[in-house]
Amino acid sequence: MALVNKIRERSGIAITIIAIALILFIVGGDLLGSRGLFGGKTQKVGEIAGNSILAQDFQKKLDQARVEYEAQSGQSANDQVLAQLREKVWNDLLIDYAYQKEFDALGLTLSDEEKTDMFFGKYIDPAVRQSFTDPQTGIFDKNRVLQQRKQIMAMPAGSIQQLGWQAFVRDIQRQHLMSRYVNLIRMSSYVTTAEAKKDYEGQTAKVDAKYLYVPFYSIADSTIKVTDSELKDYLNAHKDEYKGANTRSLDYVAFGVAPSKADSLALKNTLTQLAKDLAKSPNDSSFARMNSDVPHPLYWSLRDMDDQLKEAVAGFFPGQIAGPFRTDNTYTIYKYTGTKRDSLYTVKASHILIRPTNESDSAKASARVRAENILKELKGGADFAAMAAQNGSDGTAQRGGDLGYFQNNGSMVKPFETAVFGFNGTGLLPSVVETDFGYHIIKVTEAKNNLQYRIIAVSKQLGPSQATRDEVYRKADAFAAANKSLEDMEAAAKKDKSLVLLKANRIPEGSTNLNMMQNAQPVVRWAFDDKTDVGDVSQVFEVNDAYIVAALTGKTSEDEVKVDDFRDELTAKVRNERKAEEIMKKLGGLAGAGTLESIAQKYGAGALVESANDLTLTSGLLTSAGADPTALGKAFGMKPGQKSKPFKGEGGVFIMETLKKTPAPAIADYAQYKNTALQMELQRSGYFVNEAIRDNAKVKDYRAKFF
């Protein structure tokens, strides 16, 4: 955020920039087109299956997605939503260019009947069910889907409501195709009897072993010097294990912006003055609209009030100014001017729904008997919430049957509404209520009430003032100006203990986060800019309620894997290789020393002799070495009484001696193990299919340079 003083200082530059911008706007595409000033260089946000995704095309799809989102949600898309929409647009392009080829090759389509059924038929899509389920009752009614679709289709063609509905339909149909494709792949998975037998034996066959173990940590790391040449040789020999990725690493300082004491005092004074002005305002509702940071209704029912206001309103008198009441960082003052009676009543209730298992008369009779028995228990003093959680068969069960507030406006089915609003006071309804959904045991928790309270509310949110933001920005800007290198930043942080130098390592391309800090795209975009070199220090970035100054400390590339990309991991690997050579050389000279105990004694410090019984291949654990598949394999691969030569394991060097082997008992049927293995295969197949398709499409994602 630029400061007013800086704008004034640079006003000449600003005027020039504005003038150039106006010229470009007037001339338009003649300058910026394919033959314009920039030589027609096309900017791409990515490539999928040989298709270039142009920045302008991606932006058009993103704009459309935003319109569709706002049509569906009724809310403006904030930064977080925009980030999600960018991801959705990208995934849609993946489906269109990569997955659709697979769908077409297999002839996968959706019939007209299926498209209708998932919205209005017998097998409703979960997303449709969730979108059209009453949040108060947890009840889904397909008639609401039909009514809404009818209303939307009656609107002018191309309206935002129609765009939103079309996007909703398209996304659900696309998801069904994806699910069908993945399920088709899953159906092709199988496990042979030989594989099932191998799994069975791995879980059941057992071995008792004794072993000598010299862990790598018994040799100090400082005694093994690893050279860059060794690291490079190891990397070249294990290329398949170290895949490249486009990442960046940063060190950064975050200057947090929080309300100051002056801001709190200013808000207090503002609220005090607002309370005085509200009290004497001749048009208090207009005053509230002009001065409140949060919109509020003019008339409130009890369901509109939070607990603080609901408790206080009982003692209000006309003309009273109350507050401020605090909710998080929002402070609200209220002016109460009286009540009126509404044509609709509001009530709060809970219920326990008992559904019949089917539509038969006997099932309905059984459900009614069960509901009546529960009602008897409740009349005897049983806890309603506990009984609802135990017996309820709809979404309200998990919250003790609570339906919240509702009105007699048809939001509930007729028999339910008639019973509740025909009841006076609070407590259990005396009889079970039958509806099309089943049998309801109902408890009115707040009596019906049609009072509407005229309460004028003015809310103000406590936040950092512009002066506070400017002061923090000045500190961040001064820090960036004074520290032009990572070394400078480190020295400044050591000198000033209020500064904390944070690290964000291997940030993936396209990330929106900086550690736990969200909406950090500007910082990530700077880090991935081709002009940003390792060691560069950034300008000041505003991220949420903080100003960030960052230094680029490292780069990795998917096309060029370097030692520095995996230096710590490679160093540990090479160091352990060297330790293994040293240990095995020493143990090799002691191989004829007799028992494992005598070998360990002659080896000296670091050598352990341990025993382990009933080891299995799939879950065997050694006492000090833990799960070491190489050691387990050796134990199972030798005959009882055999002793191995020294060999390298995961965490050290072993000499393994097999004492006893218990083979898996023969069984006639491996179905149980075959089913278990198949389930694991099915769980993995969807992921592997997705990875294979994306690899085959040779996806290149450059979005981090744009968004």
Please give the share of the chain, as a percent, with pLDDT higher than 90: 61
DSSP 443: E
pLDDT tens for 373-406 read 999 999 999 999 999 999 998 889 989 999 989 9
Q: If you average pLDDT over residues 333-356, what whole number do you get? A: 93
Give residue 578's identity as a one-letter amino acid code.
R
Above 50 in pLDDT, residue 72? yes
Above 90 in pLDDT, residue 504? yes
Q: Is 668 exposed, middle or buried (0-12, 13-18, 19+ CB in 10 A)?
A: exposed
pLDDT band at 471 (very low <50, low <70, confident <90, very high): very high
Above 50 in pLDDT, residue 12? no
pLDDT (0 to 100) of residue 672: 92
pLDDT (0 to 100) of residue 167: 81
pLDDT (0 to 100) of residue 136: 62
Above 60 in pLDDT, residue 40? no
pLDDT tens for 529-584 read 889 999 999 999 999 899 999 999 999 988 889 998 899 999 999 999 999 999 99
Rounded to the nearest integer, the mean pLDDT of the chain is 87
Element containing residue 556 per DSSP (H, E): strand 546-556
pLDDT (0 to 100) of residue 9: 34
pLDDT band at 164 (very low <50, low <70, confident <90, very high): confident
pLDDT tens for 76-107 read 888 778 888 998 999 999 999 999 988 999 89
Which of 31-35, 223-227, 380-384 has the lowest average pLDDT? 31-35
Q: If you average pLDDT over residues 124-130, what whole number do you get? A: 84
Please give the share of the chain, as a percent, with pLDDT higher than 70: 93
pLDDT band at 296 (very low <50, low <70, confident <90, very high): very high
pLDDT (0 to 100) of residue 472: 96
Q: If you average pLDDT over residues 602-629, what whole number do you get? A: 94
Which of 295-304, 438-447, 468-477, 628-637 has the lowest average pLDDT? 295-304
pLDDT (0 to 100) of residue 425: 93
Cβ–Cβ under 8 Å, residues 516 and 227 = no
Above 50 in pLDDT, residue 1? no
Cβ–Cβ under 8 Å, residues 351 and 432 = no
Q: What number of helices (H) and strands (E) belong to the chain?
A: 25, 18
Please report the DSSP string for 129-167 in residue order. HHHTB-TTT--B-HHHHHHHHHHHHTSPTT-HHHHHHHH
> Rounded to two decimals, what is the model's pTM?
0.60
Bridging pattern class, strands 330-354 and 608-615: unpaired
pLDDT tens for 428-437 read 999 999 999 9
Cβ–Cβ under 8 Å, residues 97 and 49 = yes
Strand order in the sheet with 652-662: 608-615, 206-215, 652-662, 647-648
